[in-house]
Structure 1
Amino acid sequence: MIEFRSLNKLSFHLDRLIKGRLWLKVIIGLLLGAAIGIILNPSAGFLSETSSLRIADWLDLPGKIFMRLVQMIMIPLIFTSIITGIVGNTSENLKTFGLRLLLYFIFTTTIAITIGLVVTLILKPGQYIFELGGFPNSGKSQIIPDEQTDLIANIPNAISNLIPNNPMESILTGEMLGVVIFTIIIGVAITQLRSETAKPIIRFSEAIQKICMIVVSWAMMLVPYAVFGLMAALLSRTSIEIFLGLGYYMFVVMLGLILLLAFYLILILIITNKNPFKFLKAIREPQLLAFSTASSAAVMPLSMKTADEKLGVSSNISDFIIPVGATINMDGTALFQCITTIFMAQAYGVELSIMSLLLITFTVVAASIGTPAIPGGGVIILASVLQSAGIPIDGLIIIIGIDRILGMFRTAVNVTGDLTACIIFDKFYGTKLNTEVIINDS
């Protein structure tokens, strides 16, 4: 069997961030940024609107650099991680394991969206905004039934288009689902090569992983400053009344994420018979790092290390699930997209029929699978979800303003979902895969 160095061995690049309490620095940055932003806001009377906007542009700079660095290394990091994960699982069980993992991810994503639907339809956060006058162009858009029918009729084409005919185009455009499927196909093909032929490819993948982790460690140094600048810039551009008016919407998203987290804990208790509170304690470090960075891709090495050392998960399981899950298992993001879509419809006064809600559910499931595992990735995909439901995207700029705050929480939930999948699948496949690895190595 081909030997490779798992990505979790590179988690030492992130260890000092945990020891340095990055999450605490991020919270301090949030509070200080909020205070500075209120002072810089033209309504405070200290600065003119022009001066405030210019300062806000500079305050945004660390955050923009951080996002660019993470985006730059995201695809090569996920590409090499999935390949090494597949190479570590050269058993016949990989076919069944992979199919069941995909079905599990679809199941949990559907549950997340259902939670989002129920919470939003009951609490109606967009109704408050609508009563205040709504977002720009309120009431001018209606859902077009023909578009819904066309979308459903095009499902076969959408399925066939999952396999990219030009992988380089998917890489250049950041189409993550196409990249993941291409990578899985390549990874399975590598397992069919002779050991001496495959070794250079594995060594090259290891080198790329190390390079990516060095860049990630550089990017992480900017996180507290990025969060500080983001909050300061946000509150300097947005009136306090509008920001507080969105507080109810933020509360609904948080409530949905808490319910989703409770669902994970119930799964662990029922399926694995393990103490869910001990599970939460064991995964505290990757959760805090995910909260700090709002990027599940950047936390992959620490998630793998936690799964192996603290949860007792087979490395063959975690090395495959974590990279794939960081890309297609976006339950927290799916819940956010669902709540935000219905919130926007309520704010615009758009009536959603049962068919419309089913369409939104299907679209969000598909969209969340292709959501980039980077800060702001959920909002990038959200525009297509809104358009498919016939909801104006004008108000999305306001959501973008507060997205980083919500992104921290939903990323922590996304990482929790990946680790939950690891511990569940280890119960059924961990022993089998470990046994087969020993046989292959002997």
Structure 2
Amino acid sequence: MFDSLSDKLQRVFKNIRGEGKLTAENMEVALKEIRVALLEADVHFKVVKAFMEGVRTKALGQEVLSSFSPAQQVIKIVRDELITVLGTHTARLRTANQPPTVVMVVGLQGSGKTTSSGKLARYLSKNGHRPLLVSVDVYRPAARQQLAVLAKDLGIPIYEGTPEETKPVDLARSARREAEISGRDMVLVDTAGRLHIDEDLMTELSQLKEALNPTEILFVADAMTGQDAVKSAEEFHKRLGITGVVLTKMDGDARGGAALSIRHITGQPLKFVGTGEKSDALEAFHPDRAASRILGMGDVLSFIEKVESAVDQKKAEQMQRKLLEDDFTLEDFRDQLKQLRKLGSLESLLGMMPQVGMLKELKNVKVDEHEFTRVVAIIDSMTPKERDNHMLINGSRRRRIAKGSGTSVQDVNNLLKQYGQARKMMKSVSGGLLGKKMGKLKLPFPNPFG
């Protein structure tokens, strides 16, 4: 997310020179480069113009704070302006005074509307709500079936309607009644889409809005489509009055322009971003954190929240006791890897780290996600006794394990070597010698970085 823009802005800041004040000379060069970086990131030209005017007004002739260099001062000004463009605060979903709260999910066909509806239902369920899903796309049976499959996988109820309910408005009204009867406080209405905006689609959505009086109308846009997403959002807002935006595929090659443009063009906040294909790959959008990531400052708060939501605290406490007692087995090693995988893509996690000092190189690290699968397969191919006591694993056992896991004997040897390093490190921790020995050890887990 925002990698290309972040790289370009980092180079701009690095080139800024001068002392005491930000002069017209050094600032004009920087502003020109910032403008080019934003345009190359597919930011709408109106947004770029407003952004540059804001930065120029704040920067030219401004005294540098005693603890800041001119470059640092520019970073602060650009960060403040980015937050202004992205939104000064995190936009939360609103709820109705009288439940159920109705949320219409709208957008063009192929934007990820149905998947986002499922992800949003899971997100709401995890945050104490009781959502009910309903698809009113009566034109594409596959779309309704897709939502039904998602709902089943997530364990969230879905209203599928009766054979007599063939109109979107009828389905939506019945779903709301079902929510009232069953005590569901949120109704997520996955609406129909088209390959492009047409009058029939807008008329249907307007009828749904009138019948349901939704608290939220969320427009789902594909971040990969750049300015097309911005134009669609603008048109939907003119016709429906959207209340927020969900940007999908922000983990792909999106240049970030849509995220920076939509709020300025529509006046409506970006509320969620999709960061992957899994059902938990939906995050609330935090403007200040996004601005920090664009400027290479990382997003440590999101990293902490992700860890807290994914890690089993009880297992973590049990593991801590095992480490202190030097009772760290291969089965524990495997369980730790599985916990790590719950956090999602390692590349996305590394992207949350501040790009400073040694951490600056993390964004260039290529992560072999399949290495974790191979390691777990190797450990799963061992017997319980072997996992409990790795000293039993002789040459013939290694050959059997390699064959059973579809790997090589060398892979098994490497795993056992890395596991041995991990045990030595844990022993050092319990003996108070961690500071002396950390520098001599390699990674205490299977190296996924190739």
TM tier relative to shorter chain: under 0.3
Greater helix fraction, Structure 1 or Structure 2: 1
Task: State the TM-score, normalized to the length of structure 2.
Answer: 0.25
Greater strand fraction, Structure 1 or Structure 2: 2
Bigger relative CO (Cα 8 Å, ≥ 6 apart): 1
Larger radius of gyration: 2
Task: State the TM-score, normalized to the length of structure 1.
Answer: 0.26
